[in-house]
Amino acid sequence: MKNIVNQCFFLLLVTCLVACNSSPKEKTETLAVAASNSGGINGVDGNCVAPPEWFNGTVPTPQPQNFPQGDDVTNCDFHLISWQYFLWLTEEVNGKLRFENLYTSNAIHPETKDDTYQVLDIVEQALSKGILIDQHGRAVYSNIMINDIYRDWVLENKLYDPEVFVDFDATADFPVGSMSLKANWKLVQPGEDVSNLYTTKADIQLLTMVDGEPRIPEDNPQIQKDVEVALIGLHIAVVVEGHPEFIWATFEFDGNAPNFKEDASGVVVQGMNDPVSDKNWLLYTANTTARKTNANNAEILEFVDESKQTLTPVTQVARQYAQGGGSSTNRGNIDHLNANAKDQLKKEGSIWENYFEVGAVWFNTEKGVLKPDWNPNVDSTMVTGSLTLSNATIETFTQKVRSQNSCFSCHNTFPVTNVPLSTKVLPGKNANTSHILLKNYQGGGEVKRSN
């Protein structure tokens, strides 16, 4: 069959995208920087900047309960609070970054509710089963963390018990302040220049052959201790007042990977056979053509040397949608705020000047609020911000799949039918946005939604 041009559909889609991108009051006028304090956010679209007090000593604790509502909220506000969380979470507390002190996902169980042992235990990317292999042939690792509000809500409601979760109020929302994180780490190689990266020591689980493929085994994986790792990506998902869907924000290291080319209006026009960049990046070799990037390796991944944990093929990474797409206001705010924040961080000499917000995505609550049985691929009218947001290092392979290229593609309130045969199908509910709960319900492994 041939593909048939249908201009009507194209026009409809463009109309929809434009319409969907606006927050209730996206202010595009250029105004003076609005004052901000630790009690609230008040960003200005078109001139989205971080308050200077964030960079003078202690980062003010974000106040998700005071998040602007209704006519007062701007697109910038969502990016601002995302940046504030990023700065606050990467602040050093008692010799570790604040996020490194958070609970692991094991803490949703009463018996391990205080677990903060953050072993790096994930290599397989969600949905794709692919593993990002860095330029040295090593797998890139992730780990997941939650805060006390998240944990306590799960514990109080006993949602760790599948029998309870399956019957849990479908409309119950995570409380304001609930937060989950996914950090992504590159293993530092001898002699590698990581001077621009945040590095630390971590314990990592090792890969071995599982069902004919290099994977981390579910049971009793081997652990290598005190491996030097560098932070290259950080997902921050947080519930703020009025947004039980979570604001899904993601940050990356500047040097990870190039962006696909865009035209002046932000439409990706990267040629498939054209190089994405003529420079080497941390996860990209100069002059690699676009079609060779983000290639899922799930079916072809092999050990070069299992004892050295080296794998082939190396993944060439590029970011398909700079700023995660969205309206010009959204993209402009992200760029402006990134430049502003980095400028202020640079003055501090902070390592975090080398990181940037890729984007963030949330609901325009005038167009829709979180409800059970919702999936953005069926109804995306309320989704706003960075509509095609992926972290190039965490969702490398799904960037190019239309039904999987947004945070909400996976984190939605649809029923979960891919459960073990002995388990009840999980009805659609608001708490299904949490993959920690879904993974627990499904009995382990990476959560895979039906998109």
Write down the least CB distance from residue 450 to other proteins, Å. 4
Contact stretch for other proteins (CB under 8 A) within 61-69, 71-79, 137-145, 421-429: 421-429
How many other CB atoms are there within 10 angstroms of residue 450's CB atom?
13
Total residues contacting other proteins by CB under 8 A comes to 63
Pick from 95, 190, 272, 349 the residue near other proteins by CB under 8 A.
272
* Residue 265 sits in the site that holds other proteins (CB under 8 A): no
Pick from 63, 105, 315, 320 the residue near other proteins by CB under 8 A.
320
* Cα 441 off chain centre by: 22
Q: Of 347, 334, 336, 341, give the one whose Cα is nearest residue 31.
A: 336
For residue 289, the cross-strand partners are 275
Nearer to other proteins, 5 or 264 (CB): 5
Residues 182-211 within binding reach of other proteins (CB under 8 A): 211
Q: What is the rounded distance in angstroms from the CA atom of residue 47 to the CA atom of residue 34?
A: 9
CA distances from 76 to 104, 251, 365 (A): 30, 16, 15
Q: What is the rounded distance in angstroms from the CA atom of residue 308 to the CA atom of residue 70?
A: 55
Residues 366-395 within binding reach of other proteins (CB under 8 A): 373, 375, 377-378, 388
Write down the least CB distance from residue 269 to other proteins, Å. 5
Write down the least CB distance from residue 75 to other proteins, Å. 19
Which tokens go with 251? 């940050």
* Residue 2 sits in the site that holds other proteins (CB under 8 A): yes
Write down the least CB distance from residue 150 to other proteins, Å. 24
Contact stretch for other proteins (CB under 8 A) within 25-33, 38-46, 338-346, 414-422: 414-422
Write down the least CB distance from residue 331 to other proteins, Å. 13
Residues 6-35 within binding reach of other proteins (CB under 8 A): 6-7, 9-10, 13-14
Per-residue interface string for the shown chain with other proteins, residues 390-409, x marking contact by CB under 8 A? ----------xxxxxx----
Residues 90-129 within binding reach of other proteins (CB under 8 A): 127, 129
* Cα 409 off chain centre by: 12
For residue 406, the cross-strand partners are none
* Residue 421 sits in the site that holds other proteins (CB under 8 A): yes
Instruction: Please provide the distance, in angstroms rounded to a whole number, between the alpha carbons at the two ends of the chain.
Output: 24
Which tokens go with 18? 């434009």
Q: Of 296, 295, 297, 291, give the one whose Cα is nearest residue 311.
A: 297
Nearer to other proteins, 35 or 272 (CB): 272
For residue 205, the cross-strand partners are 223
Pick from 103, 168, 246, 260 the residue near other proteins by CB under 8 A.
260
Bond from prior residue into 52 cis (ω within 30 degrees of 0): no
Q: What is the rounded distance in angstroms from the CA atom of residue 277 to the CA atom of residue 271?
A: 12
Write down the least CB distance from residue 164 to other proteins, Å. 15
Q: Of 262, 189, 267, give the one whose Cα is nearest residue 230.
A: 189
Pick from 52, 271, 279, 339 the residue near other proteins by CB under 8 A.
271
Contact stretch for other proteins (CB under 8 A) within 197-205, 318-326, 330-338, 343-351: 318-326
Q: Which residues have C-beta within 8 Å of that of residue 166, sequence separation ≥ 6?
A: 424, 426, 427, 441
Q: What is the rounded distance in angstroms from the CA atom of residue 378 to the CA atom of residue 381?
A: 9
Nearer to other proteins, 32 or 421 (CB): 421
Per-residue interface string for the shown chain with other proteins, residues 424-443, x marking contact by CB under 8 A? xxxxx---------------
DSSP state of 278: S
Buried b (16+ CB within 10 A) or exposed e, 322-345: bbbbbbbbbbbbbebbbebbbebb
Q: Which residues bind other proteins (CB under 8 A)?
A: 1-7, 9-10, 13-14, 127, 129, 166, 211-212, 260, 267-273, 290-292, 295-296, 298-300, 320-321, 325, 373, 375, 377-378, 388, 400-405, 414-415, 417-421, 423-428, 448-451
